[in-house]
Amino acid sequence: MAKDTPPKEGSKEQIKAAKKEQHKFHATEAPKGAVAPMPKGYRPRLADVYTTKVQPALMKDFNLSSPMAAPKMVKIVINIGVSEAKENIQALDLAKEDLTMISGQAPQVRRAKKSISNFKLREGMPIGVRVTLRGARMFEFLDRFVSVSVPRIRDFQGVDPRFFDGRGNLNIGLKEHHIFPEVNMEKSPKARGMNITFVTTAGDNAKGKALLEYLGMPFKKPEVKQAPAK
């Protein structure tokens, strides 16, 4: 826009001040529809918990000599499939908006890699949305997920440890995205399934489970078989 461009005429000090003011405007005011940046210097609660409590506990449990050897979170990947986007593109926009509200980050539209005639699917068609969270947003989402969203799951009995992939990464499938309080039920009345992948550096399921358990993930406890009464 014309009002954003610095003046071409004037002293060097005026042009420099105008450029500085323009940069300040774009850094603090995000465009309409975009996600606001994280505050400078902000550190999530779970990040401090990991450094002060979880990391020393993992080193003690697995006899690790270096803090760098302790497993840690790398990223969280969230996927929402939108099969009806083939016929109604507005469904994709709703899913994209919901995932933006849930994750705090603008998602990426995923497209079909090949055509499948039985499903009326053509290569390049939008079929879902995906977002990858790292750093502060990753810890913020994990904190809200285990503290607020998981207790809202219907008939929840705990996360099954069998959902690990053998390398310490946990995959959770949800039937309803309405468990997240950020979703507007009036704008998005249809429940959508979603997949959440917690990627760690654990390398095996035991370390991965210990890491997520210390961070608050509620796992299903093994059933204790009672001895038959004599």
Count of C-beta atoms within a 10 Å radius of residue 198: 25
Q: What is residue 230's predicted lDDT score, i.e. its pLDDT?
A: 57
The whole-angstrom separation of Cα 5 and Cα 27 is 15
In the prediction, which pLDDT does 127 show?
80
Buried b (16+ CB within 10 A) or exposed e, 62-100: eebeeeeebbebeebebbbbbeebbeeeebbebbbbbbb
CA distance 179 to 147: 12
The single-letter code of the amino acid at 177 is H
Q: What is the pLDDT of residue 146?
A: 92
| Ranges under pLDDT 70 in the chain | 1-36, 118-121, 224-230
Looking at residue 32, its pLDDT comes to 41
- Residue 227: what pLDDT? 60
pLDDT for res 17: 62
Long-range CB contacts (< 8 A, 24+ apart) of 147-152? 147/216, 148/180, 148/181, 149/179, 149/180, 149/181, 150/179, 150/218, 152/179, 152/181
Name the DSSP letter for residue 9.
S
Within 169-208, strands assigned E span 170-174, 194-200
**Each residue of 162-221: pLDDT tens digit?**
899 989 999 999 988 889 988 888 888 888 889 999 999 998 999 999 999 999 999 988
Give the per-residue pLDDT at 31: 37
Q: Which domains does the chain show, CATH number per domain?
A: 45-214 (3.30.1440.10)
Which residue blocks in 9-166 are alpha helix, DSSP H? 12-28, 45-49, 55-61, 89-103, 135-144
